[in-house]
Structure 1
Amino acid sequence: MKYLESTYCFDFENDSVQNLISEFKTDTLSNKEKAIGIYTKVRDNWKYDAYNISLSKEKYKSSYLVEKQSGNCVEKSIILIACLRALGIAARLHLGKVKNHIAVERLIEKFGSNELTPHGMVNVYLNNKWLKMSPAFNKSLCEKLNVEPLSFDGENNSFLQQYNGKGNRFMEYIDDYGHFDDVPLDFMIKNIKEHYPSIFNNNDKKTEFKL
């Protein structure tokens, strides 16, 4: 299955990814237990950061991303997919567009919108079905926003935090771009330029953004 293969971005043979999954490389754990464990580890070991964006392909390799301390939704999804594939569990990148409704002041200031695109999540194949999960928001950030962190039980989808602890709308999916076997950088660049033209400041050749 192609969703088990190493690719340019999901280069899971590297030592960094192998070290990350070392505790799960055992026959005593089921694939379900491995998926739950590595999902939680990736969710919380990298802080979510939506304000650093790269358009350079090499910056989307799992071997590069695991060395960082933070990442956006796509970057953290890449790390998780590489880990899952390294453990022999089929996984793929799924992209869409979301709208945030809480703590959006900085988003609107930097992006000109409270919509985030492309938003990344993970499809994982367990027990003969594809499940959706999102490792984007680390537990400490969720506590700060009064939002329950997304847990993954290996049996149900876990990709959307609709409401916070007070019952107020937190986020919603407003578009679905489908799934990909590797990182579709050309599509992502086109998508970012269409939705956030102001961040380029008439410089289409710029590849790194710290907003």
Structure 2
Amino acid sequence: MENALGSTRFIDADSRVVADFAADHAGAGDARSKAVNLYYALRDAVPYDMRTFGLDEGQFIASNVLGANSAFCVPKAIALAAVARAAGIPAKIGFANVRNHLTSPRLAALMDDDIFRWHAYTSLFLDGSWVKATPAFDIGLCERHGVLPLEFDGRSDSIFHPYDRDGRQHMEYVDFIGEFTDMPYDAFATEMRAAYPRLLEALDQDRARAARLRN
């Protein structure tokens, strides 16, 4: 439990940016109330964007995530763990392999199958038990794509609704990988390079192209 409260390389709960976010959004209630407030604040403060997917170590440091224009599921789960710890709530980052039935055609073409490996969530210790929360999809993204926003009450696991607003199957969990007191970067990066070489290359090229246009 002590390891789930401290500051680490990636879950830098003692950084000023993280502490300020927790102070601004946790509220003055009990731990469960604070966790719920932080979940919604973090979910919507950093928009989800799969185009940010990459392996730059800096993008997985919680204080950097809070200052980013957007992020994908792993950095957002790390950031939620950090602000929870800053508010005195034990937190870990968890990973699972999932199947996303609503993935975009371009993304699907760059993957060898329909499994999204190492999808991330945050595990929070509330009222004597660990509860899963998934802050990936912000409310703006959900509204644009007709996906039900994922709610969290601090009592039961909140992962992904199985259907979107039109009744189409959305997300299913294939298996759980594990929960960690810090981001297991080396294992994650090794798996991503093996599973998604074409996707990583394509997104790196997109970012390089965008940088050239800005300059």
Q: CA deviation at 1:129?
A: 0.4
Aligned to 2:23: 22
Q: CA deviation at 1:100?
A: 1.0
Is 1:5 the counterpart of 2:3? The answer is: no
Aligned to 2:211: none
Structure 2: which 5+ runs fail to align? 208-215
After superposition, where does 1:110-125 map in structure 2 within 5 Å? 110-125=110-125
Report the more deviating stretch, 55-64 or 2-11.
55-64
| Identical columns (%) | 30
Aligned to 2:61: 61
Q: CA deviation at 1:179?
A: 0.6
Question: What's the secondary structure of 1:54's corresponding residue?
Answer: coil
Question: What's the secondary structure of 1:176's corresponding residue?
Answer: strand
Aligned to 2:180: 180
Aligned to 2:147: 147
Structure 1: which 5+ runs fail to align? 202-207
Q: CA deviation at 1:116?
A: 1.8
Normalising by structure 1, what TM-score?
Answer: 0.89
Normalising by structure 2, what TM-score?
Answer: 0.88
Is 1:38 the counterpart of 2:38? The answer is: yes
Q: Which amino acid aligns with 2:72?
A: N
Aligned to 1:204: none
* Structure 2 CA distance for partners of 1:78 and 1:209, relative to 1, 3 Å: farther
On the 8 A contact 1:100/1:171 being kept in 2, the answer is yes
Cα distance in 2 for partners of 1:112, 1:64 equals 31
Q: CA deviation at 1:16?
A: 1.1
Cα distance in 2 for partners of 1:209, 1:92 equals 33
Cα distance in 2 for partners of 1:135, 1:25 equals 15
Cα distance in 2 for partners of 1:172, 1:11 equals 31
Cα distance in 1 for partners of 2:125, 2:205 equals 34
* Structure 2 CA distance for partners of 1:200 and 1:43, relative to 1, 3 Å: closer
Question: What's the secondary structure of 2:50's corresponding residue?
Answer: coil
CA RMSD in angstroms comes to 2.0
Cα distance in 1 for partners of 2:67, 2:134 equals 20
1:92-151 CA deviation, whole Å, 9 max, x = no partner? Answer: 000111111124313213435443221100100000000111000011111122221111
Cα distance in 2 for partners of 1:71, 1:106 equals 19
On the 8 A contact 1:52/1:210 being kept in 2, the answer is no
Question: More helix by proportion, 1 or 2?
Answer: 2
1:42-86 CA deviation, whole Å, 9 max, x = no partner? Answer: 111111111223323333111211110211000100110000000
Aligned to 1:49: 49
Cα distance in 2 for partners of 1:185, 1:31 equals 29
Aligned to 1:170: 170
Question: What's the secondary structure of 2:53's corresponding residue?
Answer: strand
Cα distance in 2 for partners of 1:188, 1:210 equals 22
1:155-197 CA deviation, whole Å, 9 max, x = no partner? Answer: 1111112101122100111121111110001110121122113
Q: Which amino acid aligns with 1:119?
A: H
Cα distance in 2 for partners of 1:185, 1:82 equals 16
On the 8 A contact 1:131/1:156 being kept in 2, the answer is yes
